[in-house]
């Protein structure tokens, strides 16, 4: 930076042109890494140099302004430094305002968190620029709450916008919040709905974190939103942005000589205080020894190393389980019942069939009273055991409840998972103890020494022949697989057809063809799995025809997860329905599916 001699007036437009030309050719780093530290020192306490710096950037031609502003924002160490260097450039220059408030926040998403903090902190540090900060926050929230943006923009851009929103919120003051409280609340409700509808867990969690932050800002006294999600490094980083870091200030350090003198002066005081504190130690030790003499040393403590914690006994009968799960206040007994329920149902199938529907209803609505490890899995396995024990009435109940009112999306997805797991268990052959496992050692009689082995001559001869025989290739020994009736054969229709009947009927709290497309995707994949498991069953042709009609109705769905499930459905139909039945009974549907695939 050239110094102006003698206080003479001069123009710095030539320097501005040089700066703009260098920056627009991609050399911001080289020139600004030298220029900005020097200007930072000069403008720290000199208002004349601040005005010179402002003129320097204001005189940059319009066509080069973007490169210069971008370089300053990226190179400045802090927001207060950026404010000293640029002044109110964004208020005076429309191109700089567009770059700062639009391009760097809404059209780009590759900048680091530090650059975002510099940019938004710069807008918050002056009353004239503060209106732009509120405007930027509203535009960011509008983009964040757009369902089209949530569906089509990459997760990295949505994370970038979420960070910018949280940094803006950290700079808001109480008057700012009062002026736009209702707009913030409306944007929060629209945005969290769009994010929770997403199929990606990362997007849903971003929506939860931002909604929690907005709620905590606008409701300082009342209740705030609270979601359950995994607390990892990314979530902690996002939450830390809501806390504004204190402004950085440099405390001038004293010279080395002065520092050493202060240290030497402080040292005798420390030593003196240490000397004063040491004589008190023996007195304290004497007091402790007196206390030990007065203690009850003759009492020997009990050995409790082998003691075991008393645990509540699990119920033995299924009806006792129902009583405990519905009305018991004993938490230990309730926990033992939840853990033992699956095995009880499988051991007593006759007793389970008597109360199967009632038990399925209780387990479906079961909520976690205490922190049980693997509670969700225990509940799911109990539901699968009840459904496989008494398939027809329980399947009828679950498929009816899937389309009923007053169920959460989580419960509806749980119903689909239970139907799939139970169908898989019913369609697989069961081992009843008579099955021979290929890896199990074959039972043989060992002859004791001195016993008559003449009766076992054939085995000895076969072993000798086998040892003398030379084979060039041996195939793997074929072990006959255990076979059993396919129990899914008689109940496949009860699992499948009720699920496919009412998908196009919207309810007050449940609309598969509307906003609840995530559950629709899970339903499509469930129908595909049930179709695949129904191979060689009597109802497989009717199921295949109904499934192809279902695919045809949803073939133009906008969600890729649903369309992926439709492709899976067609594959399951082709794998499960016999070829002759496909050509005779579902020819028209198959040709329509072929044209759609093409």
* pLDDT tens string 368-381: 777 778 888 998 99
Number of domains making up the chain: 3
Determine contact, residues 362/401, Cβ cutoff 8 Å: no
Residue 289 lies in a domain: no
Residue 76 lies in a domain: yes
Domain, as residue range, for 358? 318-389
Tokens of 459: 């085995």
Tokens of 143: 């983009």
- pLDDT at residue 264 tops 70: no
Closest CA to 163 of 102, 234, 107: 234
| Same domain? 223 vs 115 | yes
Q: What is the pTM of this model?
A: 0.52
- The overall average pLDDT reported for the chain is 78
Determine contact, residues 246/170, Cβ cutoff 8 Å: no
| Same domain? 385 vs 495 | no
Residue 436 lies in a domain: no
Residue 351 DSSP class: H
| Same domain? 367 vs 418 | no
pLDDT score for 408: 84
Of the three residues 225, 241, 257, the one that is the final residue of a domain is 241
Number of CB atoms found within 10 A of residue 212's CB: 20
Mean pLDDT throughout 406-434? 81
Number of CB atoms found within 10 A of residue 61's CB: 14
Give 251-299 as a DSSP string.
PPPPPHHHHHHHHHHHHHHHHHHHHHHTTHHHHHHHHHHHHHHHS-TTP
| Same domain? 383 vs 419 | no
Determine contact, residues 509/405, Cβ cutoff 8 Å: yes
Tokens of 32: 């600004």
User: Sign of the CA dihedral 408, 413, 417, 420?
Assistant: positive
Closest CA to 358 of 409, 310, 321: 321
Hunting for tokens 């069939």 — which residue is that? 353
| Same domain? 59 vs 168 | yes
The residue among 385 and 262 whose pLDDT is bigger is: 385
CA distance 35 to 56: 12
End-to-end CA, the chain: 67
The residue among 384 and 181 whose pLDDT is bigger is: 384
| Same domain? 191 vs 328 | no
Of the three residues 241, 257, 278, the one that is the final residue of a domain is 241
Mean pLDDT throughout 335-359? 89
Say whether 136 sits in a helix, a strand or coil: helix
| Same domain? 418 vs 341 | no
| Same domain? 219 vs 331 | no
* Lowest pLDDT segment from 70-79, 140-149, 217-226, 241-250: 241-250
CA distance 288 to 334: 49
480 — pLDDT class (breaks 50, 70, 90): low
Mean pLDDT throughout 576-590? 83
| Same domain? 148 vs 54 | yes
Residue 473 lies in a domain: no
Determine contact, residues 102/138, Cβ cutoff 8 Å: no
Residue 5 DSSP class: G
310 — pLDDT class (breaks 50, 70, 90): low
Residue 58 lies in a domain: yes
Tokens of 413: 């997805």
Over residues 56-72, the pLDDT tens digits come to 888 888 888 888 888 88
| Same domain? 50 vs 154 | yes
| Same domain? 525 vs 574 | yes
C-alpha 53 chain-centroid distance: 47
Of the three residues 389, 420, 448, the one that is the final residue of a domain is 389
CA distance 185 to 261: 59
* Percent of the residues in the chain that have a pLDDT greater than 90, as a whole number: 12
pLDDT score for 299: 66
| Same domain? 420 vs 345 | no
């Amino acid at each position: 930076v050239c110094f102006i001699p003698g206080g003479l007036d001069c123009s710095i437009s030539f320097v501005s042109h040089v700066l703009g030309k260098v920056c627009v050719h991609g050399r911001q780093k080289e020139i600004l890494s030298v220029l900005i530290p020097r200007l930072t020192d000069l403008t720290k306490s000199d208002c004349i140099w601040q005005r010179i710096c402002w003129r320097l950037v204001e005189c940059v031609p319009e066509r080069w302004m973007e490169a210069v502003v971008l370089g300053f924002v990226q190179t400045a160490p802090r927001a207060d430094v950026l404010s000293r260097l640029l002044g109110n450039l964004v208020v005076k220059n429309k191109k700089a305002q567009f770059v700062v408030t639009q391009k760097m926040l809404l059209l780009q998403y590759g900048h680091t968190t530090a650059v975002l903090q510099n940019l938004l902190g710069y807008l918050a540090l002056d009353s004239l620029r503060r209106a732009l900060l509120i405007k930027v926050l509203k535009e960011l929230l509008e983009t964040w709450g757009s369902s089209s943006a949530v569906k089509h923009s990459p997760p990295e851009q949505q994370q970038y916008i979420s960070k910018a929103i949280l940094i803006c919120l950290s700079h808001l003051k109480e008057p700012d919040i009062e002026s736009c409280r209702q707009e913030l609340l409306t944007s929060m409700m629209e945005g969290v709905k769009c994010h929770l509808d997403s199929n990606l867990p990362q997007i849903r969690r971003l929506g939860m974190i931002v909604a929690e932050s907005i709620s905590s800002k606008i409701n300082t006294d009342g209740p705030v939103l609270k979601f359950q999600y995994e607390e990892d490094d990314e979530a902690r980083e996002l939450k830390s942005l809501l806390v504004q870091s204190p402004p950085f200030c440099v405390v001038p350090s004293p010279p080395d000589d002065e520092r050493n003198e202060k240290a030497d002066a402080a040292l005798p005081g420390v030593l003196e205080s240490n000397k004063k504190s040491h004589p008190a130690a023996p007195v304290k030790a004497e007091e402790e020894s007196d206390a030990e003499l007065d203690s009850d040393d003759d009492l020997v403590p009990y050995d409790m190393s082998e003691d075991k914690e008393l645990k509540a006994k699990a119920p033995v009968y299924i009806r006792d389980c129902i009583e405990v799960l519905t009305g018991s206040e004993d938490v230990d007994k309730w926990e033992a019942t939840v853990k033992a329920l699956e095995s009880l149902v499988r051991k007593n199938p006759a007793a389970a069939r008597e109360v199967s529907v009632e038990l399925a209803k209780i387990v479906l609505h079961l909520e976690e009273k205490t922190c049980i490890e693997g509670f969700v899995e225990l509940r799911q396995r109990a539901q699968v055991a009840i459904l496989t024990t008494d398939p027809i009435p329980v399947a009828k109940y679950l498929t009816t409840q899937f389309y009923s009112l007053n169920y959460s999306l989580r419960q509806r997805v749980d119903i689909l998972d239970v139907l799939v797991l139970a169908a898989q268990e019913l369609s697989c052959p069961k081992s009843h103890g008579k099955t021979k496992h290929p890896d199990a050692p074959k039972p043989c009689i060992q002859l004791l020494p001195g016993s008559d082995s003449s009766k076992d001559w054939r085995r000895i001869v076969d072993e000798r022949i086998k040892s003398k025989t030379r084979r060039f290739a041996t195939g793997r020994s074929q072990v006959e697989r255990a076979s059993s009736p396919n129990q899914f054969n008689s109940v496949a229709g009860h699992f499948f057809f009720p699920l496919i009947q009412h998908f196009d009927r919207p309810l007050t709290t449940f609309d598969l063809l509307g906003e609840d497309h995530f559950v629709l995707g899970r339903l499509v994949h469930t129908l595909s799995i049930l179709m695949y498991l129904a191979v060689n069953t009597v109802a497989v042709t009717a199921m295949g025809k109904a499934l192809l009609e279902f695919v045809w109705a949803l073939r133009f769905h906008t969600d890729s997860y649903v369309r992926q499930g439709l492709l899976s459905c067609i594959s399951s139909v082709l794998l499960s329905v016999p070829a002759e039945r496909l050509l005779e009974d579902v020819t028209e549907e198959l040709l329509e599916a072929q044209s759609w695939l093409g």
